[in-house]
């Protein structure tokens, strides 16, 4: 939570490289994955070149977030992360 608890940010690594990020991974990041159409939340990817990692990120508001919606958000985010790891 940040910005006076009005926003929430989630991040998780979806790719761990040893010394580099292969071209195949970069090509996959540039494409629209088939599961993206099924997403109920908007996410984005960031690349940590120095540590050869790719992260899935979410940024949203807490305005209407209650316990049930938070649980659903975590479920959706986890599902999307797993799909990216498989993709």
- The answer to whether residue 38 scores a pLDDT higher than 80 is no
At 39 the pLDDT is 80
pTM of the model: 0.87
* 47, HSE (Cβ side, Cα atoms, 13 Å): 12
pLDDT at residue 8 tops 90: yes
Identify the pLDDT of residue 19.
92
Distance CA 70, CA 72 (A): 5
pLDDT (tens digit, 9 = 90+) per residue, 61-85? 998 899 999 999 999 999 999 999 9
Task: Give the model's pLDDT for residue 1.
Answer: 77
**Greatest alpha-carbon span in the chain:** 42
């Amino acid at each position: 939570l940040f910005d006076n608890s009005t926003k929430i940010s989630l991040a998780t690594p979806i790719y761990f490289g040893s010394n580099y990020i292969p071209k195949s991974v970069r090509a996959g990041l540039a494409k629209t994955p088939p599961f993206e159409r099924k997403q109920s939340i908007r996410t984005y990817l960031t690349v940590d070149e120095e540590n050869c990692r790719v992260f899935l990120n979410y940024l949203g508001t807490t305005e209407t977030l209650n316990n049930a919606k938070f649980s659903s958000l975590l479920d959706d985010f986890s599902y999307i992360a797993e799909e990216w790891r498989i993709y």
